[in-house]
Amino acid sequence: MTTHLTVRGLVIRETPVHDADKLFDLFTENGIVTVQGKSVRKAGSKYGAVTQLFAYGEFCLRQSGERYYLDSAVSLNLFYGIRNDLDALALASYFSELIRKTATDQPQPQLLRLYLLSLHHLAEHDRPVPLIKAIFELRLMTELGLMPNLIGCDVCMEHLPAKPVLRFEEADMLCKDCLPEPQPDDLFVTPAVIQAARHVIFADFDRLFQFRLSGESMPLFSFYAEHYLRHRLGMQLRTLQFYHELTDAGAPAP
């Protein structure tokens, strides 16, 4: 039986098949679907642009058995601003790998929203790339229910300690004076890092990217978000390694 459906989705992976066809993964509000596009790699195909990596569009699909086929599509945003920017492309690929490894069959509209917002700022070049990366990482953890507990010091409940310490294993925060045995992993940060992390965890999507960090707080926040995610997910991320090889700063030091 053949069924038809219309979905909005972001192309997060593409694989050439046959002479001019393509298989592409569409990330939608309801998870990931793999679609076969007939002849979309032919010169002059009107669906060439909308089926390329990091294109967002509305797709009319035909389901036959286990497989989806492309009938037609309209592009909604091609994010041109990232296409000539290697750092942005590497980061967008890292986001794709994270989504592929964490998406489920359950509806996750907020993950698609987070991804689209991040691509928007990458394409507009209106936020530092490491900030976009850190926001994506920490908010992804939040949406997956894996956020740290940063309400206050886990011992004395101080809301915003002058010398906060972030812990990865415990996924919490302490004041320096409440720290029992210092561990090599303990990350000494600034109060601004705590405020930024809370903002990313709790803010509405409309305001998610509306903050700035300066001085030492930016590399500390960036380090925290990446290492927190790696600690919680415990998986090798090939695209993250590539991103660090590309961005000459490498992994930001605490």
Single out the residue of 12, 111, 140, 175 in contact with Zn ion (rule: CB under 5 A). Answer: 175
Backbone angles phi, psi at 188, to 5 degrees: -85, 120
Distances (CA, A) of 29 to 32, 72, 103, 113: 8, 19, 10, 9
Question: Closer CB to Zn ion, residue 162 or residue 246?
Answer: 162
Q: Does 166 bind Zn ion (CB under 5 A)?
A: no
Question: Closer CB to Zn ion, residue 146 or residue 155?
Answer: 155
DSSP letter, residue 38: T
Single out the residue of 153, 213, 218, 220 in contact with Zn ion (rule: CB under 5 A). Answer: 153
Single out the residue of 60, 89, 155, 179 in contact with Zn ion (rule: CB under 5 A). Answer: 155
Q: Does 179 bind Zn ion (CB under 5 A)?
A: no
Q: Does 156 bind Zn ion (CB under 5 A)?
A: yes
Question: Closer CB to Zn ion, residue 12 or residue 175?
Answer: 175
In sign, the C-alpha dihedral spanning 246, 41, 14, 21 is negative
CA atoms within 13 A on the CB side of 88: 21
Question: Closer CB to Zn ion, residue 141 or residue 189?
Answer: 189
- Stretch of 80-88, 143-151, 155-163, 187-195 lying at the interface with Zn ion (CB under 5 A): 155-163
User: Identity (one letter) of the amino acid at 85?
Assistant: D
- Least spacing, CB of residue 176 vs Zn ion, in Å: 8
Question: Closer CB to Zn ion, residue 32 or residue 165?
Answer: 165
Cβ-based burial of 132 (10 A; exposed 0-12, middle 13-18, buried ≥19): buried
CA gap 115, 121 in Å, rounded: 10
Cβ-based burial of 8 (10 A; exposed 0-12, middle 13-18, buried ≥19): middle
- Least spacing, CB of residue 158 vs Zn ion, in Å: 5
Question: Closer CB to Zn ion, residue 153 or residue 220?
Answer: 153
- Least spacing, CB of residue 189 vs Zn ion, in Å: 14
In degrees, to the nearest 5, what angle opens at C-alpha 249 toward C-alphas 246 and 254?
135
> What is the size of the binding site for Zn ion (CB under 5 A)?
6
- Binding flags for Zn ion, 54-93, as an x/- string (CB under 5 A): ----------------------------------------
CA proximity to 11, closest of 77, 105, 65, 102? 77
CA gap 165, 194 in Å, rounded: 9
Residues lying near Zn ion in the complex (CB under 5 A) are found at 153, 155-156, 158, 175, 178
